[in-house]
Amino acid sequence: MTALIIDDEIQIRRLLRMALEAKGYTVKEAPAGQLGLQEAVFVKPDVILLDLGLPDMDGLEVLKRLREWSQIPVLILSVRDQESIKVAALENGADDYVTKPFSTAELIARLSAIQRRRSGDEATTLHLGPLHIDPVQHEAHLQGEPLKLTPTEYALLSLLVRHAGKIVTLKHILREVWGPQSENQGHYLRVYVNHLRKKLEGTPLELRNEPGIGYRLVEG
């Protein structure tokens, strides 16, 4: 796994490099947004750790530009802890959000969750009506057409398809998709449920909310 760190604080980059290399990652660095975008093109990392407070452009702008051409998982690292900013990052394609200061143990746990989403543990193709999911290729097709999904959207949709017709609890979804330390971060889930509902519009598939309990995916 190769990780690209886009952060202007050299101390943070050093800390992240030590933590990531200890877990076997190859680490690349960029101290600014434009350089980070260039590195992403040439290095093609497996994951990007992105600060929002960059000297040349806002991290959200970097994220938007990345998502124009790439679905590389992005973990946001920021001192900004307002829920509105977290939601904005998620809506623009971030896979997770960690607030500074953070523990390296939490960081590695979040990255491990992202890695699980990318790898796909199931070897059997999943089907629900017009939706087909190939966990080996990490691809989804809806009504015969490729369905463009971020890694997090893919992980959530795959989980719901594996339990099609059944209620999947909020706690279970958050634990499986975002990791064991994310069970109280329901705003993540609401954002991605809305994403999937929009992508399933016009099909017989319905993502139903069971208030206070969880969600279920059904074929109408």
Domain 2-119 has what CATH class?
alpha beta
Across the chain, mean pLDDT equals 87
- Please compute the mean of the pLDDT values over residues 112-125 and round it to a whole number: 62
- Please compute the mean of the pLDDT values over residues 98-125 and round it to a whole number: 74
Cβ–Cβ contacts within 10 Å for residue 38, how many? 12
pLDDT at 121 (0 to 100):
46
pLDDT at 84 (0 to 100):
82
Q: Is the pLDDT at 200 greater than 80, yes or no?
A: yes
SS (H, E, C) 144-171: CEECCCCHHHHHHHHHHHHCCCCCEEHH
Q: What is the pLDDT of residues 1-41, one digit of tens each?
A: 899 999 999 999 999 999 999 999 999 999 999 999 999 99
Q: What is the pLDDT of residues 44-94, one digit of tens each?
A: 899 999 999 999 999 999 999 998 888 788 999 988 877 788 888 887 888
pLDDT at 124 (0 to 100):
65
- Please compute the mean of the pLDDT values over residues 140-160 and round it to a whole number: 90
| Domain 126-219 indexed as CATH 1.10.3720.10 | no
CA dist 58 and 103 (Å) reads 24
Domain ranges of the chain: 2-119, 126-219
Q: Is the pLDDT at 116 greater than 60, yes or no?
A: yes
